Structure 1
Amino acid sequence: MPVLAKYMGLLALMLALLTLAPLGVAVIVQDFHIAWRYLVVIAALLIFWGASRSIAEPWHIQTNEALTVVALAFVLSPLLMTFPFMGSGLSFYDALFEAISAITTTGLSVTTDLADKPQTFMFARSWMQWYGGLGIVVLSVALLMGSQIASRSLSEPLGGETLATTTRTHARQTLVIYSVLTLTGILVVWLISGNGLMALNHVLSAVSTGGFSSFDNSLAAIDNWYTRFTIIGLGLCGALPLSLYAVVFSKHWRAGIRDRELLALSVAILLVTLLLFLSLHFHSGMNPQDAAGHALFLAMSSQSTTGFTTVDINLLDDSAKISMIFSMLVGGGVGSTAGGIKLLRVLILLRLIQVVLQRTTMPSQAVHYPKLDGKVLEDTVIQRALILILLFIGVVAISWFVFLMHGYPPMNALFEVVSATATVGLSTGITAADLPVLLKLVLCLNMLFGRLEIVALLVVLYPANWVGKRKELS
């Protein structure tokens, strides 16, 4: 418990600093009825941080402790932000839903009539998506934490499928890349659209692959296709491993542009675009030009798990929804802000299937190891990928069953559950203010499970993680 308290205290300080942004906006636009709520939250966070300062920082942190800290950061922060969100006229459960959707970079919303909502509320949702996409923990590692060993454990508590070393230096590099993408995106969208506030809110959500829009009908409210594709293009940038940018802009740029996840993302988008075009043109009756535009946009949105849309998803036929369901399930790259199972894990699964088929044609004594990018896949990497895929599908199946028991159409219910678990935010219309509280909570769990990749949240719920003496390394 002292270890958890120490690092949760540092995270509380970071969250207090991040909360200064919506507080400042509330003061500037004179939303004082919301500003005092943010002051209360900041005060509570600083009090907790002050109390934790007396705890000595351990020289190492165990895997279960790192997972618990990461999970609690994403569970407790939306609970705190529910209080200021309620200042915009939302009920407790609706405010909690919006806060969880924000911090998990999902973008599902039970709020309508957004034009009537305070500007502070609109900014706060996008801002939460921005720092939720990068990760409160990564921010803290980059700016506050000193222990290299503990920093590495907190940034990547389960280890990584890539060879990148996650240290404080790497966290800072990630923060710089993320910030440059964001600032560049805001400037470009502002220049194209001429609307600075719209650019700020949408770019914060796009780079984080969050998808919160200040319009009730998302980007369908924007007539300019240049603005639409610039925004969704930023979401696509966020769906790539952030470490890849450092490689592309280095002397090893050729290796960067040949990255397997980059190629897989491109192929997936092209395939989904084709399937959606056929559906929109032949089933929905759109002319070829409109069908191509909407198909490409939706493919980029679902594959990157950004969640912006230019059409009413509920009006699409089942073939289009199925295409998008698989796209959302796969998601973006490992080490990106995107959700889903992740492209690298799907590539590992496909490689394993290929090896199994190849072994059927080989002599029984032949040795054939699965490889990716010329490197032999370690057993731990394979096991982790397969377990996460299995758990992801299990969460989707259980949640889908709950929605079916409440009488929702099977295809729409599956779409909604996958969208929440993959932290996408596209909706068939099921997610709304009148959704039963139980189902809102189910979707909240889906979003948390998806953002934390399930294992971290399961560790928090595992009693042995909290009971018993901490085992020190000898």
Structure 2
Amino acid sequence: MTALLGAAMIPCLLLDVADNVPEWPVFAASATMLLLFGGGLVVLSGGRTERTGSREAFLLTVLVWVVLPAMAAIPFMGIGMSFTDAMFESISGLTTTGSTVMTGLDNQPRGILLWRAILQWFGGIGIIVTAIAILPMLRVGGMQLFQLESSDTAGKFMPRIGEISAQIGMIYLFISVSCALAYMLSGMSTFDAVAHAMTTVSAGGYSTFDASFGAFYETAAVPTAIFFMIIAGLPFSLLALAMIHGRVKPLFSDPQPRLFFALIAAITTLVFFLRVIADQDYVIISPLNGYIETLFNVVSVMTGTGYATAPYDGWGDPIVMIFLITIFLGGCAGSAACGIKMFRLEISFRAVLAHAQQMVSPNRVVRIRYGGKVIDNDTLQSVMVFVFLYLATFIAAAILLSLTGESPLTAISGAATSVSNVGPGLGPEIGPAGTFEGLTDRGKWICATAMLLGRLEFTAVFVLMTRRFWRG
């Protein structure tokens, strides 16, 4: 992974050299260091593959997501960013959160802009592989519901990861190239198309412009982005069935996509209706463009991409509250998207209904079903623990941010967007038109920690804090 990260710096180096950027030696030194370090580790290991059990898997998963951001932060420090800002930008990139402390993006060197996009692209595929191959085996957050055959066999853990990573990588690359070509056809430059394709399919949201997707307002790039953001929010296992085996039906019959599409349609329609009631000029003058604008921003927030075409936190208080709730929802399990995820929302809702039925009829045996399967107590408990840790982390982060002097809206939305890996918060400071630059260093570390916890689905981190884990 270290060597791969170093190799990924080479295109950024070449761009900076071509553009005569004086900071190009930063990428040269960083790439050389990481390639030598990563290559050295490969040589020392001798190509051996050790048996890896669940305890080692927990530790390795967490270590990868902690160590890689530190290495990826080096180029940011090379352009004058503080250690805190560099780590924030790196963590936000690799977790595909998309919150940023950088300003003046329109005038930044193309090398560093591409590096931000590459971080999110690598983060996206890492998240998908983790969700499909690792978290189910570790029984994290109810993900065992999607456990692949034989993926619970400790001795087959590493070979299974390699096999799944290769398959996902091919699909991910194909979607990325398709997105880049579509962006170019919609009028983007080659550089902007490639950079935005990387941050779209990863549901990351880093842009090459301060205006985010507002720079492509009312162009064909907007509906193109909507399509690929939705793709990024769908389960990659179902995308594989559709693309490799031609089985498209599961994309519309599976419970996760069904709820995903239904929520997008419902929230978009509600927000658009509220904008019409508020007599917002743009919506009244151009209803179609107004609906597309609303759909774009709803999809962006729900999938955790974080692009914005307009400061939607200025559309009225009711709409602000709707977007705040939407931040928590997320996409489908097994996708690049963030949040609580569709299957957990549905299982939690069904659990509430089942509990209500048992209260009315205490002797009745009520089974919770999802996708035709009966949910066992282990899976239900995992889902409930995840939801509890999710909300507890959000509340703790919001309180800690408020203690740094932030306003209630900034603290609450900052905590929500960090733990949900969405990107922009709400309000003038960290909203769609703002950045996280104005937060204190403590505030930035609080948000960065919440981003990591959110991406690691909480349980994978908290299990390392138990005595039993270290006792063996």
Fold match by TM threshold 0.5 = yes
Q: In the alignment, does 2:88 pair up with 1:97?
A: yes
Deviation for aligned residue 1:136: 7.7
Match of 1:260 among 252, 255, 259: 255
Structure-to-structure mapping, 1:353-372, within 5 angstroms: 353-362=352-361, 364-372=362-370
Residue among 449, 452, 468 paired with 2:456? 452
Cα separation, 2, equivalents of 1:42 and 1:181: 30
Match for residue 433 of structure 1? Answer: 437
Inter-partner Cα distance in structure 2 for 1:196 and 1:171: 28
Q: Give secondary structure in 1 for the equivalent of 2:144.
A: coil
- Which residue in the other structure is 1:65 paired with? 56
Q: Matched residue pairs, number?
A: 447
Alpha-carbon shift at residue 49 of structure 1 (Å) = 4.6
Say if 1:187 and 1:68 are closer, same or farther in 2 by CA, change over 3 A: same
Which amino acid in structure 2 is aligned with residue 454 of structure 1? F
Q: 1:243 aligns with which of 237, 243, 263?
A: 237
Q: Counterparts of 1:14 and 1:117 in 2: how far apart (Å)?
A: 24
The aligned counterpart of 2:79 is 88
Match of 1:39 in 2: 29
Which residue, out of 191, 194, 207, partners 1:200? 194
**2:184, 2:315 → 1: CA distance?**
31
| Cα distance, 1:12 vs structure 2 | 2.5
Quote how far apart the aligned CAs of 1:216 are: 0.7
1 CA distance for matches of 2:462 and 2:233? Answer: 25
Match of 1:162 among 136, 146, 154: 146
2:317 matched residue in structure 1: 318
Q: Which letter does structure 1 place at the counterpart of 2:419?
A: T
The match for 2:10 is 20
C-alpha displacement of 1:235: 1.6
Distance 2:21 2:449 in 1: 31
Q: For residue 264 of structure 2, what is the aligned residue in structure 1?
A: 269
Query: Aligned partners of 2:25 and 2:104: how far apart in 1?
Result: 22
- Look up the match of 2:156: none
Q: Is the 8 A contact 1:105 1:423 kept in 2?
A: yes
**Paired amino acid for 2:438:** D
CA distance in 2, matches of 1:62, 1:22: 37
Using the TM superposition, give the Cα deviation of residue 301 of structure 1 relative to its aligned residue in structure 2, in angstroms. Answer: 0.8
Match of residue 184 from structure 2: 190
CA RMSD of aligned residues (A): 2.6
| Mean CA deviation greater in 375-384 or 50-59 | 50-59
Distance 1:269 1:136, change over 3 A: closer
Query: What is the distance in 2 between the residues matched to 1:54 and 1:460?
Result: 27
Q: Please name the residue that 1:173 is paired with.
A: 167
Give the Å deviation of 1:17. 3.4
Counterpart-to-counterpart distance in 1, 2:39 and 2:319: 49
2:122 to 110, 131, 146: 131
Judge conservation of contact 1:106–1:425 (CA < 8 Å) in 2: yes
Asked whether the 8 Å contact 1:137–1:155 carries over to 2, the reply is no
CA contact (8 A) 1:137 1:154 kept: no
Matched, 1:221 2:211: no
Matched, 1:121 2:124: no
In the TM superposition, residue 417 of structure 1 has moved relative to its aligned partner by 1.5
- Is 1:79 the counterpart of 2:63? The answer is no
Shift of 1:329: 0.5
Structure 1 pair 153/266, CA: closer, same or farther in 2 (3 Å)?
Answer: closer
What is the percentage of aligned positions where both structures have the same residue?
25
Do the aligned partners of residues 71 and 34 (structure 1) sit closer, same or farther apart at CA in structure 2, a change above 3 Å counting?
Answer: farther
Flag the 1:136–1:280 CA change in 2: closer, same or farther, 3 A: closer
Q: Which moved more, 1:274-283 or 1:253-262?
A: 274-283
Code of the aligned partner of 1:279 = L
TM-score (norm 1): 0.87
Deviation at 1:218, TM superposition (A): 1.0
The change in CA–CA distance for 1:299 and 1:61 in structure 2 (over 3 A counts) is: same
Counterpart contact for 2:275–2:315, Cα < 8 Å: yes
1: CA distance between counterparts of 2:230 and 2:133? 27
Q: Could you report, residue by residue, the CA deviation over 1:187-228 in whole angstroms, capped at 9, with x for unpaired residues?
A: 011011141111111110010000001111211121334211
Question: 2:342 is matched by which residue type in structure 1?
Answer: L
CA shift digits 1:66-87 (9 cap, x unpaired) = 1221222121111112221122
Whole-Å separation in 1 of the counterparts to 2:199 and 2:246: 31
CA drift of 1:284 comes to 6.8
Shift in CA distance, 163/248, structure 1 to aligned 2, threshold 3 Å: farther
Shift of residue 62, structure 1, vs aligned partner: 2.5
Distance 1:59-1:153 versus aligned 2 partners, 3 A rule: farther
Give the TM-score normalised by structure 2.
Answer: 0.87
Report how far residue 108 of structure 1 moved. 0.5
Alpha-carbon distance, 1:342 to partner: 0.8
Mean CA deviation greater in 427-436 or 123-132: 427-436
Shift of 1:183: 0.3
Given residue 14 of structure 1, which amino acid in structure 2 is its aligned partner?
L
CA distance in 1, matches of 2:352, 2:127: 36
Residue in 1 that maps onto 2:333: 334
Question: What is the distance in 2 between the residues matched to 1:163 and 1:122?
Answer: 37
1:136–1:84 CA distance, 2 compared to 1 (3 A): farther
